[in-house]
């Protein structure tokens, strides 16, 4: 179940900019939440970190569904941009998994260290899966700083190396782990070539806008905790067992191939 504690609620540490952004997303959320993904994100929950926005209650019928079975598909939000530094796998892969994550979320870290590595070996390297990252920083200023830093690392082609550095070990939330100084040190360790450019990119309007775009997309879907996923439009929530993700990808691949492998 999602972690519930005062420290896991992002509302107390939000900046005025973030609070304004959050208010704008309320209107956008109504576009997609009503019919599809929002209810499903509740149904398919596993281990995840909760945001402060309350989730809609699932219906009785929805409560009986399981990932990869008769779960209704959400919207197809795959960008399939071949130049997207925050994605791995071919742009024309038959299956796209979109991941909404926060660098301070321990369950996101578990997924990154374990499940994602298996998916890379089993599916991405074979060309059947593409993973597209969405920054979804819901736990305060350090989460937002880490998201912008990751985007900045992507500008120099080392997003995934930087991603792996930040998730290399569990970290205490909002304890100074992701200050600017430490993020620059992570960037150096991840082989970011131009650290001055990295600093500038991290604080740029472009970085703020890129992170905000991802956040608004997630909130519009009804995402209320991290990590959250769409596998060819089918929602999954939380750091579920690797087998659950593997089966979801295989199911999506089967459907994309018209029922044949």
pLDDT of 51 = 52
Domain assignment present for 117: yes
Closest CA to 184 of 199, 167, 172: 199
Domain assignment present for 64: no
CA 10 vs CA 18, 53, 54, 114, 130: distances in Å: 10, 9, 12, 26, 30
Phi, psi of 236 (to 5 degrees): -135, 145
Domain assignment present for 251: yes
Residue range 90-116, pLDDT digits in tens? 999 999 999 999 999 999 999 999 999
pLDDT of 2 = 39
Domain assignment present for 29: no
pLDDT of 129 = 98
Distance CA 230, CA 240 (A): 13
Domain assignment present for 41: yes
CB neighbour class for 48 (10 Å; exposed up to 12, middle 13-18, buried from 19): buried
Phi, psi of 161 (to 5 degrees): -65, -40
Q: From first to last of its 261 residues, what are the pLDDT tens digits of the chain?
A: 333 333 333 543 444 454 444 444 333 333 333 334 444 454 345 567 765 443 433 332 222 333 333 344 667 899 999 999 999 999 999 999 999 999 999 999 999 999 999 999 999 999 999 999 999 999 999 999 999 999 999 999 999 999 999 999 999 999 999 999 999 999 999 999 999 999 999 999 999 999 999 999 999 999 999 999 999 999 999 989 999 999 999 999 999 988 544
pLDDT of 242 = 97
Residue 3 is classified by DSSP as: B
Contacts of 34 (CB under 8 A, 6+ apart): none
Three-state DSSP at 133 gives strand
pLDDT of 58 = 32
pLDDT of 41 = 54
Helix (H) or strand (E) holding 226: strand 225-226
Domains held by the chain: number: 1
Domain assignment present for 70: no
Q: Strand 228-231 to strand 95-101: parallel, antiparallel, or no bridges (unpaired)?
A: antiparallel
Distance CA 154, CA 198 (A): 10
Task: Supply the range of the domain harboring residue 236.
Answer: 36-49+87-256
Domain assignment present for 65: no
Distance CA 210, CA 49 (A): 22
Looking up residue 100, the CATH number of its domain turns out to be 3.40.30.10
pLDDT of 191 = 98
Three-state DSSP at 52 gives coil
Domain assignment present for 3: no
């Amino acid at each position: 179940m999602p972690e519930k504690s005062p420290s896991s609620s992002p509302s107390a540490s939000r900046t005025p900019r973030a609070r304004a952004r959050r208010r704008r997303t309320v209107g956008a959320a109504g576009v997609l939440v009503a019919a599809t993904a929002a209810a499903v994100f509740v149904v398919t929950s596993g281990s995840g970190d909760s945001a402060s926005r309350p989730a809609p209650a699932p219906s009785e019928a929805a409560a009986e569904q399981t990932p990869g079975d008769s779960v209704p598909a959400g919207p197809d939000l795959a960008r399939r941009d071949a130049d997207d530094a925050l994605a791995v796998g071919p742009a024309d892969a038959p299956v796209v998994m979109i991941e909404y994550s926060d660098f301070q979320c321990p369950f996101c870290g578990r997924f990154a260290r374990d499940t994602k590595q298996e998916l890379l070996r089993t599916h991405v390297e074979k060309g059947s899966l593409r993973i597209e990252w969405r920054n979804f920083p819901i736990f305060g200023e350090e989460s937002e700083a880490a998201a912008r830093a990751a985007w900045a690392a992507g500008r120099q082609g080392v997003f995934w190396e930087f991603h792996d550095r930040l998730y290399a070990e569990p970290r205490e939330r909002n304890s100074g782990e992701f200050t600017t100084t430490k993020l620059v040190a992570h960037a150096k360790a991840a082989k970011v070539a131009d650290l001055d450019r990295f600093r500038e990119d991290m604080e740029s309007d472009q970085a703020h806008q890129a992170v905000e775009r991802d956040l608004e997309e997630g909130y519009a879907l009804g995402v209320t905790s991290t990590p959250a996923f769409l596998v060819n439009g089918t929602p999954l929530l939380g750091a579920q067992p690797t087998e659950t993700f593997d089966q979801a990808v295989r199911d999506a691949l089967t459907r994309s191939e018209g029922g044949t492998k």
